[in-house]
């Protein structure tokens, strides 16, 4: 009994030590307490569920982006792949075959992600440039897919509720809460990828490839394979985020998802991932997304005269830089 508990504690400590998640978690709690004390209407289930809902779409994308960043690469095309995935899913929903749509929304963005990876490893072009380019191309593909027009459906399909409907169990329990079922999918995906990262051979190789590519190569790790797979995961999760977007609003535009690529990178960094690769965690990424979403909400609720709701980006920017500096400081002390 005592032994079992000790093992659990060791396990948890081990997870935290290896994922350097302590800094971001501390920041999240600090901002939450501060906002609860000073921001009107902040400390309520309504606000908390709003923060979480706003974070889930970016959260799904950030998981893939973080995994990729740990292996030393960037993906700036995920924003466009959200639109590609969203249209693929939405168009099949219009034909009443949502399952086919779901498969397409995973496979095609996943394939396009793998293409990003192949361009990166075969040509040696930095992924920052390569995916900046393919991001525009994929946005063009979304335009071709849709003919440039907005897709909007009025019929409700049961699949919408499965992915992003009302989370009745939680919402009936907590007064004022308005959680969506996408929260469960987000947590499940986080859990799967966190464990892939820290407890599987593949995860070990991801860290090695991003940390010291020469050492990984010399030990027989297939560096190119790891990178291409990570790009494919990043693409597939962006397509998945497109599915969530469509399930929530039943609309999809060519411009949907644009800007998410940068928020995802920001969240990964706020969550403790190193831009240079080799370090980071999926827990951290989740915390990063929640932190940015929380700050947006807090700033909007504060209602400062010169920072109205549509000018909160500046505050978020300041905090991203601040969090990155803070994480660095924490890491150097441990």
Partner 1 sequence: MNTSAKNCPVVEMKNIVKRFGTITALKNVDFKIDQAQVMALVGDNGAGKSTLIKILTGIYPPNSGEIYFEGKLVQINSPREARDLGIETCYQDLALVNLMSISRNFFLGRELVHQFGPINWLKIGEMSALTRSALADVGIQIHSPNDRVGSLSGGERQSIAIGRAVHFGAKLLILDEPTSALSVAETRKVLKYIENAKVRGLPVIFITHNVHHVYLMADAYTIIRHGEKVGTYCRGELSENDIADLITGQREK
Nearer to partner 1, 17 or 150 (CB): 17
d(CA 281, CA 301): 30
Of 215 and 321, which has the nearer Cβ to partner 1? 215
Q: Smallest distance from the beta carbon of 201 to partner 1, in angstroms? A: 4
We find the least distance from the C-beta atom of residue 21 to partner 1, in angstroms, to be 15
Query: Shortest approach of partner 1 to residue 31 CB, angstroms?
Result: 27
Minimum CB separation of residue 212 from partner 1 in Å reads 4
**Is 331 exposed, middle or buried, given 0-12, 13-18 or 19+ CB atoms closer than 10 A?**
middle
Q: Closest CB to partner 1 among 43 and 202?
A: 202
Residues that bind partner 1 (CB under 8 A): 14, 17-18, 199-205, 207-208, 211-212, 214-222, 274, 278-279
Nearest-approach distance from CB 58 to partner 1, in angstroms: 26
| CA angle (143 as vertex; 142, 147 as ends), nearest 5 | 125
Q: Pick the closest to residue 67 from 184, 191, 193 (CA basis).
A: 193
To the nearest whole angstrom, how small is the minimum distance from the Cβ of residue 210 to partner 1? 8
Cβ density class 104-135: b for 16+ within 10 Å, e for less:
bbbbbbbebbbbbbbbbbeeeeebeebbeebb
Cα separation of 249 and 160, whole Å?
Answer: 9
Using the minimum distance from each CB to partner 1, give the nearer residue, 316 or 330: 330
Question: Please, what is the Cα angle at 19 between 17 and 20, to 5 degrees?
Answer: 70
Which one, 151 or 197, has the nearer CB to partner 1? 197
Query: What is the Cα–Cα distance from 234 to 226, expressed in whole angstroms?
Result: 12
d(CA 99, CA 163): 12
Closest separation in Å from C-beta 333 to partner 1: 12
- Distance, in Å, from the CA atom of 271 to the CA atom of 18, rounded to the nearest integer, reads 14
Quote the least distance from Cβ 290 to partner 1, whole Å.
25
Which residue has tokens 């995961």? Answer: 233
Identity of the residue, 155 or 214, whose beta carbon is nearer to partner 1 in the bound complex: 214
Which residues are within 8 A (CB) of 165 and not within 5 positions of it... i.e. 6 or more apart? Answer: 180, 181, 247
Choice between 171 and 224, CB closer to partner 1: 224
CA distances from 45 to 49, 51, 165, 201, 214 (A): 6, 10, 17, 40, 49
Query: CB of 213 within 8 A of CB of 71?
Result: no
Answer positive or negative: Cα dihedral of 174, 180, 185, 186.
Answer: negative
Of 98 and 280, the one with the shorter C-beta distance to partner 1 is 280
């Amino acid at each position: 009994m005592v032994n079992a508990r000790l093992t659990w504690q060791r396990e948890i400590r081990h997870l935290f030590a290896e994922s350097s998640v302590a800094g971001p978690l501390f920041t999240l709690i600090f901002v939450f307490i501060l906002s609860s004390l000073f921001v009107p209407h902040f400390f309520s289930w309504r606000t908390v569920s709003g923060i979480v809902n706003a974070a889930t779409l970016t959260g799904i994308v950030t998981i893939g982006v973080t995994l990729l960043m740990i292996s030393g690469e960037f993906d700036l095309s995920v924003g466009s792949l959200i639109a590609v995935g969203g249209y693929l899913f939405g168009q099949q929903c219009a034909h009443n075959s949502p399952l086919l749509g779901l498969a397409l929304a995973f496979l095609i963005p996943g394939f396009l992600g793998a293409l990003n990876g192949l361009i990166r490893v075969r040509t040696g072009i930095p992924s920052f440039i390569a995916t900046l380019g393919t991001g525009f191309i994929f946005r063009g593909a979304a335009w071709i897919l849709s003919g440039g027009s907005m897709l909007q459906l009025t019929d409700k399909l049961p699949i919408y509720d499965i992915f992003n409907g009302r989370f009745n169990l939680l919402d009936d329990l907590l007064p004022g809460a308005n959680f969506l079922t996408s929260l469960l999918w987000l947590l499940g995906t986080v859990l799967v990828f966190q464990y892939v990262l820290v407890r599987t051979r593949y995860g070990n190789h991801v860290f090695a490839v991003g940390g010291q590519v020469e050492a990984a190569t010399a030990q027989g790790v297939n560096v190119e394979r790891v990178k291409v797979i990570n790009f494919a995961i990043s693409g597939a999760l962006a397509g998945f985020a497109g599915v969530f977007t469509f399930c929530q609003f039943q609309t999809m535009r060519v411009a949907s998802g644009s800007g998410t690529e940068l928020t995802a990178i920001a969240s990964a960094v706020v969550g403790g991932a190193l831009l240079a690769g080799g370090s980071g965690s999926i827990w951290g990424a989740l915390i990063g997304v929640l932190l940015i979403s929380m700050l947006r909400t807090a700033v909007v609720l504060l209602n400062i005269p010169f920072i109205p709701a549509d000018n909160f980006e500046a505050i978020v920017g300041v905090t991203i830089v601040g969090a990155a500096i803070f994480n660095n400081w924490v890491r150097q002390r441990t």
